[in-house]
Amino acid sequence: MIGITGLTKSYNSREVLKDVDLRILPGEVVAIIGPSGAGKSTLLRCINMLEVPDSGRIHVDGRQVFYTPNARGKLGVVDQFRLTWLRREIAMVFQQFNLWPHRTVLDNLLEGPVIAKRQKRADAVPRALEKLRSVGLEDKADAYPADLSGGQQQRVAICRALMMDPKAILFDEPTSALDPELVNEVLDIMAKLAKTGMTMVIVTHEMKFAREVADRVIFMEHGGIVAEGPPDEVFQHPRLRVYASHLSH
């Protein structure tokens, strides 16, 4: 589904990703955990090229979307056409929700399919309402994002991602900006989504969620993958136990 080889990325002279390899299988739910500054979000954002890596290779669904710059130092992203293709296949849910504040909830869901993918609005509207119903927000279709709570906004953002009929969804710390009492309503939706067989890559600090919902956990530190595997195995890793003990204080 997603294949990453030898990915590196530096900001100025600070190495954020050091030669990272990662493979994500169809239908897999992968949680990426680790301390702040480990490169988790950068790795996630490289998958749909919101961040352009310095070198490495990225394949999505058999197509190459990034390769190491050539000898003349030309940028590795293949072209704008393939870039928009990639982003229509891989949806994203952001920490700060990033709903468009000047559009209603319904219009936020329709932008992707109707504007970017040029589908008929009349076909997309019933689908959008159905998605809203599935997250319990069917009565908010005509509200503006500013009228919603953070948890509601993030549920709308998940619907917006689903409207793209994506092959995978990337979650970039989806509950980190939420008040504690709103975290669960978003995690519940994500757990439900995981059961439907959606491919999900989730950067998170929610250890319990990662342990219970993920098929595989990836523990990152200092720009590299320290441990990966089934949750029960990875959570026994000594480095992760140190990290987790910091979290529980």
Residues between 131 and 190 with contacts to other proteins, criterion CB under 8 A? 143-147, 160-161, 164
Query: In 103-215, which ranges are continuous DSSP H helix?
Result: 105-110, 121-134, 150-162, 180-195, 207-213
Examine residue 215 and tell whether it contacts other proteins (CB under 8 A). Answer: no
77 secondary structure, DSSP code = B
Q: Which of 33, 46, 58, 99 binds other proteins (CB under 8 A)?
A: 99
* Phi–psi pair at 111, nearest 5 degrees: -55, -50
| Residue pointed to by tokens 């919101």 | 50
Pick the closer one to other proteins by CB: 64 or 84.
84
- Work out how close the CB of 51 gets to other proteins at its nearest, in angstroms, rounded to a whole number: 10
Distance CA 230, CA 117 (A): 36
As a 3-state breakdown, the chain gives helix, strand, coil percent values, each rounded to 5, of 40, 25, 35
User: In the complex, what is the shortest distance from the CB of residue 65 to other proteins, in angstroms, rounded to a whole number?
Assistant: 13
CB of 81 to other proteins, least distance (A): 9
Q: Look up residue 246 and give its two tokens.
A: 């910091």
Among 22, 42, 46, 48, interactor with other proteins by CB under 8 A: 48
Q: Is 129 one of the binding residues for other proteins (CB under 8 A)? A: no
* Contact region with other proteins (CB under 8 A), list: 9-17, 90-98, 127-135, 240-248: 90-98
Interacting residues toward other proteins by CB under 8 A:
48, 50, 80, 84-88, 91-92, 94, 96, 98-102, 111-112, 115-117, 143-147, 160-161, 164
